[in-house]
A = this chain, B = another copy of it.
Amino acid sequence: MAEAEERFEEVYDELRDELEELCHEKRYNDLRKRFLDMNPADIAWLFDDMPEDHLPVMFRLLSKEVAADVFINLESDSQEMLIKGFSNSELEAILDEMFLDDTIDVIEEMPANVVKRILKYSDPETRSEINKILQYPEDSAGSLMTTEFIRLRRTTTVAGAFDVIRQKGDDSETINVSYVTDEERHLIGYVTIRTLVLEKDTSALIGDIMEPNVISAMTTDDKESVVQRMSKYDFDTMPVVDAENRLVGIITFDDAIDVIEEEATEDIEKMAAITPSDRPYLRTAVFDIWKSRIPWLMILMLSSTFTGMIISSFEGALASCVVLTAFIPMLMGTGGNCSNQTSATVIRGLSLQEIEFRDIFKVIWKEAKVGLLAGAALAAVSFIKVLLFDGMLLGNPEVTPMVSAVISFTLICTVFCSKIVGAFMPLFAKKVGADPAVMASPFITTVVDALSLVIYFGFATVLLGI
């Protein structure tokens, strides 16, 4: 482990113990001072690690501004516990300090009665904004956006723009970009704070200095694809418009980063046959972990009934040449590894929009070539290894050159087919609107397992005459 990390863990442990002790000894003034020079995200991290009963006391020692920042960084179970303990005025104060998109994030994790209470103590304007955003589908750009941003008119001057920013800046998620709209709130351009600051003529009109080619997302767009676009264009903010191109919100880079990390985690989980969940592993109950894993284990176990049936139907062949059994796991494993490599590459490429469905023939053609090369290399090495190691070194008289040839031929065909199946399945899933990562793993495994056995027994029957 990196030295820096070990050092960090030590410091962290010491700090947590110190805070716990201070709290235990009711030295609240010292505690308050300790919090002063700490980053809210760090405070939240420590809080999540504390005994639950210390949390409300400690939280109340934070200044109002810091309290809101700490709150949004807490895990949702800590948030829920705190909200339940808040007085109405405390809740109101916290909500007042929070940006809209953070409030939405909190709400999305809370049970219905807590959500009701949050809505009740938000100011009326915020409440109506929250309700609007909550109506967007879960994975849409609309659900990710905030409606607190700087809006400018084409006819405003640079000096006027600074006035608007000074007036609205405190309640805006970012002032780095301001958006320009017309009378009907249609998005017609944007202007960065850099442009405003570097503009020498403060009477210049926004309409003259704005960038009119503005790339935007629709409220109904899938949030993953919007975030991919932000990454492609290096945007720190993406405007979100409705079907009539009216500006309704913005998505900021910090939410984009969260989505990128979540989506990658989800892809990894799905590829590993896990139902994705939002909660960090260490804070998820054993039963919930079990629930996210058992369905696919069950499906995959039952689907391997097919492979069992294939083996059973060749029982006679296996009985007459028992050594064949020993190579079944290797052949099925290699097929699985090959299809896995390809499907992981394709699924990730689809997520990053580096691969599209229309590339399907290019991808399959490429994989066919890689499959032949890889199959040939594995077959060659296997032929020699089986003969020398399993045959001569272990002295198994059953391992003849012909048995070794059967294994090598099987490898070539299995690797080739596995690569094609691994390439085709995720792209096909994408085309029919299914999730490539979810559909890939069980189907590919079942198909590839069955294929490799059929190929194996096929070659065995023909070449060994069993």
Contacts and interface: CB of A to CB of B under 8 A. Distances in A.
In the complex, the count of this chain's copies comes to: 2
Interface centre among A162, A175, A309, A333 (most CB of B within 10 A): A333
Interface in A316-373: 318-319, 322-323, 325-330, 332-334, 337-338, 340-341, 343-349, 352, 354-359, 362-363, 366, 369-370, 373
A341 B197 contact: no
A301 to B, nearest CB: 5
A260 interface: yes
A113 interface: no
Interface string A264-280: 11011101111000001
Contact of A344 (B271, B312, B315, B355): B271
A23 interface: no
A139 B236 CA distance: 24
A318 B325 contact: yes
A357 B290 CA distance: 22
Given A281-B354, A307-B329, A254 B225 contact: no
A296 interface: yes
Contacts of A337: 273, 296-297, 300
A25 interface: no
Given A289-B366, A305-B385, A281 B355 contact: yes
Given A254-B234, A319-B319, A282 B362 contact: yes
Interface in A223-281: 225, 230-234, 236, 253-254, 256-258, 260-261, 264-265, 267-269, 271-274, 280-281
A264 B261 CA distance: 8
A382 B289 CA distance: 21
Contacts of A390: 305, 308, 312
B338 A297 contact: yes
Scoring A9, A38, A344, A349 by chain B CB atoms within 10 A of each residue's CB, the highest score goes to A344
A81 to B, nearest CB: 20
Interface stretch (A51-59, A114-122, A123-131, A163-171): A163-171
Contacts of A230: 257
A424 to B, nearest CB: 15
A460 to B, nearest CB: 14
A331 to B, nearest CB: 9
A9 B360 CA distance: 14
Contacts of A215: 39
A325 B352 CA distance: 42
A454 interface: no
Contact of A267 (B221, B268, B338, B356): B268
Contacts of A430: 1
Interface in A390-439: 390, 394, 396, 415, 430-431, 433
A462 interface: no
Interface residues of A, number: 127
Contacts of A222: 2, 4
A285 to B, nearest CB: 9
B394 A309 contact: yes
A290 B340 contact: no
A324 B232 CA distance: 54
A296 B344 CA distance: 15
Nearest to A285: B366
A415 B301 CA distance: 12
Interface of A: 1-2, 4-5, 9, 37-39, 41, 45, 162, 165-166, 169-170, 175-176, 193-194, 197-198, 200, 212-213, 215, 218, 221-222, 225, 230-234, 236, 253-254, 256-258, 260-261, 264-265, 267-269, 271-274, 280-282, 286-287, 289-290, 293-294, 296-298, 300-302, 304-305, 307-309, 311-312, 315, 318-319, 322-323, 325-330, 332-334, 337-338, 340-341, 343-349, 352, 354-359, 362-363, 366, 369-370, 373-374, 377-378, 381-382, 385, 389-390, 394, 396, 415, 430-431, 433, 445, 449
10 contacts: A4-B222, A289-B366, A289-B370, A296-B341, A300-B334, A308-B390, A311-B325, A312-B390, A325-B328, A329-B329
Given A1-B430, A261-B264, A264-B264, 18 more contacts: A1-B431, A2-B225, A5-B225, A9-B358, A39-B233, A176-B193, A231-B261, A253-B257, A280-B354, A294-B373, A301-B382, A304-B333, A305-B330, A305-B389, A305-B390, A308-B329, A315-B323, A329-B329
